[in-house]
Structure 1
């Protein structure tokens, strides 16, 4: 598992494995899931992180 934060984009990305990303889907505003070819989540992107944290 790998965490990356981009302060200029205010975005957090969590990579759950090394599998190739086949498709992505926005499941809520600012929350994007990346899926591999088996349909399993391999990445999570959270936009506007500073607005979501307390």
Structure 2
């Protein structure tokens, strides 16, 4: 998984699987889901991220076992 934030365009991108994007769909305004050729969701983009997320530059990561 890879998470990037571009402050110049205010987009937060979460890549779940690094494969080519076959299709994208805007599920809700500003939330774009990316799919592979088999229709599996492989990532998502949040447009205007700073308006939705308190601090898109802050990353918290937790693993529960």
| Larger strand fraction of residues | 1
2:21 aligned with 1:34: no
Residue 10 of structure 1: CA displacement? Answer: 0.7
Matched residue, 2:22: 22
**Distance across 1 between alignment mates of 2:53 and 2:20:** 29
Residue deviations 1:4-49, cap 9 Å, x none? Answer: 1000111100001122110100000000000001101111000111
**Distance across 2 between alignment mates of 1:30 and 1:15:** 16
| Alpha-carbon RMSD | 0.8
Is there any run of 5+ residues in structure 2 with no aligned partner, and where? 55-65
Structure 1 length normalisation: TM-score?
0.92
**Distance across 2 between alignment mates of 1:26 and 1:6:** 19
Count, aligned residues: 54
